Amino acid sequence: MFSLIQRFQSVSNVAMTWSVFGACFIMLSSWFHLYHDNVFDLDSSIGNIKPSVNVRNSRYFGSVSGKPKENLKLNFDLNADLSPLFNWNTKQVFVYLTAEYPGTKSPNASNEVTFWDFIIKDKEHAQLNFSNLKSKYSGWDVEERMSGRDLVFKLHWNIQPWIGPLIYGDTHGEVSVNIPNQKEKIKRTRLSRN
């Protein structure tokens, strides 16, 4: 006869095997559902981007040894329907707005900075309609300046499922904006005052 420990081990092995198969089924079926809903081709509208460049001396804003550093803040409009990202395995969706731009010292290197993020907990709140939204974070570059560059803004998302790995993607509807030079901005302000 089998002892109590052997019976417990046999039952727990079968239970563990079935739970692994169940978890794999949940992951694969939710991925199939996402591909079926074409979530990797979602559209978004990012508009009315108003950049504001400030010079900061604090190390909290990227300054090193008290040298001034340009910081970029934004106001923008955002419209996106992210409800297809939700299915029965979606716990929440993390959404974030980034700007990508080439480096000046090495043009082949691409820099990316995050200006805004948001957590969507359910499908009912997945319709994003924001106007004149302020960026949560200010951006600064490891190089001297942010001004005078072309930034490409894009909305990214990250599905955090109940079971399985994180799923990353972005929406269609990227927008390119040129950040005016600080010196040009100061000259224009002085000319308008005269």
68, 54 contact by CB (below 8 A): no
Domain boundaries, the chain: 1-36, 40-193
**pLDDT of 71 strictly over 90:** no
Q: pLDDT tens for residues 133-143?
A: 999 988 877 77
Looking at residue 58, its pLDDT comes to 63
pLDDT top residue among 189 and 129: 129
Q: What is the mean pLDDT of residues 63-83?
A: 84
| Cα four-point dihedral sign 51, 57, 59, 60 | negative
Q: pLDDT tens for residues 4-40?
A: 888 889 889 999 999 999 888 888 888 888 888 888 9
What predicted TM-score, i.e. pTM, was given to this entire model?
Answer: 0.80
Question: What are the strands, taking DSSP E only, across the chain?
Answer: 44-56, 69-81, 90-102, 110-120, 127-134, 150-161, 167-170, 175-178
| Cα four-point dihedral sign 10, 13, 15, 21 | negative
Give percent of the chain above pLDDT 90. Answer: 43
